[in-house]
Every structure is written in structure tokens, then in C-alpha cells.
Amino acid sequence: MLPHARLNLHAQVETPLRLPDYAGSALRGAFGGALRRIACMTHQPACTGCPLLRSCPYAVVFESAPPAQAHSLQKCSEIPRPYVIEPPAWGAREWQPGESLQFSIVLLGRAIEQTPLILLAWQRALARGIGPGDGRARLLRVTQSLPAGAHPVFDATDGSTRAPLPESFPEQAPPAVVTLRFNTPLRLQANGHALSAERVDVRRLILGLARRISLLAEFHGPGAPGFDFPAIAAHAATLVETRQLAWRDWTRRSSRQQQAMTLGGLMGEWTLAGDLAPVWPLLQLGQATHVGKEAVFGLGGYRLIPSA
């Protein structure tokens, strides 16, 4: 449906490096800046109107151009970016020289082809500095965690880069009960506003997954999967749900708006029961794509915990 690869980055801190409670935005900003400095050929101040917009690897990965015509699933001017940053665990922290900094980036669809460029951008971003005080680090290696063991993608000792291996989820019958454990804030929205724990429901969750995966597959993958959205919505409404979700806020600095922005979302567990077979592929793939708004920062990340 949508090729994906989760790359685990292992870096050694060289100068004190501080990151906020949720570091997804800080990491993304540093990555985007480095990627643009490497890949932009025109050096225009903005991508809008650039003649290379549709082919520039920076724009393809970081500022994906919207469709030329109106889209049935996406009314706004943006389409999902083909990557997801998964930062270190929640909690502000300062890393000291010599300590290890680890985080991941999930590449989706054709972004996997840009792995060498993306890893070079991460090398440059870490060397230039990240977070308050621009703490620096050196990228040592990049790996994939696969069922057969760790697959090396990059090694700084010799500068070698290997192509990531395609990842997939086990083909197995879905359980009767599964829990989605959200480890980063989930932002499901209605009319531009994030929904509270009392207002979210399983139908919005499953449709959010289906829309995001469909758009990613259409613009960055093998093509739109042709989901029957009314049927998906109708089936989702038959599932029994139990939620133990709580709101958590975090603050990010917007470089474009030059101001701090407070965002929040739901964390905790969301249990679904019933005939999960029709939505099981969506639930599995959602562990790579995440779900909801600001997924590119790593929001809406979860792991499936099947019932014993």
C-alpha cells in the first residue's frame, strides 16, 4: 500500500545540547534548514513560484507541492510530507558531550529514494547545532530494526550508506481486541479545532488514518489505494471503543511566524473491539505514518498492543 522505512539515528553529543519537552519541532526545523542549504539550486527566498518546485528534492521531501486542482480529500493548500520525525521520549533534557542522542525518522514512499541526501542533511544539521544554544552532535550510524536484526544504513567510520530495506508488518489474523497506545499527542480536528477526549470517536480515528494513508500513497507512493470511505466509516462505527486519554500541551517555536505556539493533543490508550479485519491494514500502517495533525513532527504516534 505504502512503502516505508524507519531509520534510527545514533549521534554522539559534542557540545551541551538541550531539547524541550517535545523535540519533534526543533529536530524538524534543523533538518529542513540543512536540507534546503544542500539541495536548493535557485536560492530563492521561498519555494512558491520556483520553476524547479516539482523536481527539487528539497521541495519533494520538505515542502511537497499541493495538487494543481482541488482534491476531494484535501481542501487546504498542503499535502502530507513523506516522512515522520520520531524524537526522543517526552521530557526536557540536556545531553552532555560524549552522551548518545537517539531518535528516528520514518521515510514514506519515494522519500526512501532520497535516503543519502536526507542522511547528509542530518549530518549537517547535527553538526551545525540543534535546540536552544545550538548544541552540536556527530552522526555515528543509522540502522533499521528488522525482524532479522539490525540492518546498517549508514556508518560514519567509512562514510558508507546502504539502501534501506523495505519494511512490512506481519501478515496475521487481526485480534478481537487491540489497544492503540499513543506515546505522542494525538490531534484529531473538526472545523480547525483539536478535539478533546470527550469528542473524539473511533469513526474519526479510522477515517483520519484512511485519509492520511490515501494521500501519502497517491502523492508519494504507488497511487491512491481507492478506499471506499463511506464503507470504512460505516464499519468503524460498529467497533466498540474504550478510551483512557488525557490532554497534554506542548509549545513549539514557529520560525515562519516568529512566535511560540502552544499545541496539544491526547495521550494514553484507545482500545477497539469487534471485527477489526477491514481496518487492520490501516491500523498497522498507521504505526509508521502516525495519524492526525502535525504528524510530520511525530504527533499521533502509537503502537498496537493486541489482546492476549
pLDDT tens for each residue of 62-90: 988 777 666 666 655 578 999 999 999 99
- Rounded to the nearest integer, the mean pLDDT of the chain is 92
Write down the pLDDT at residue 256. 55
Averaged over 271-286, what is the pLDDT?
Answer: 97
Minimum mean pLDDT range among 36-45, 129-138, 176-185: 36-45
Structure-model confidence comparison of residues 253 and 18, the more confident one: 18
Distances (CA, A) of 298 to 7, 51, 286, 287: 14, 31, 12, 11
Q: How far is residue 163 CA from its own chain's centroid?
A: 20
User: If you compute the radius of gyration of the chain from its CA atoms, what whole number of angstroms results?
Assistant: 19
Write down the pLDDT at residue 279. 97
- The residues, any chain, with a CB within 8 Å of residue 30's CB and separated by 6 or more, are 125, 126, 128, 129, 130
pLDDT-derived band at 148, boundaries 50, 70, 90: confident
Structure-model confidence comparison of residues 302 and 262, the more confident one: 302
How much of the chain exceeds pLDDT 70, in percent?
A: 94
pLDDT tens per residue, range 238-252: 999 999 999 998 876
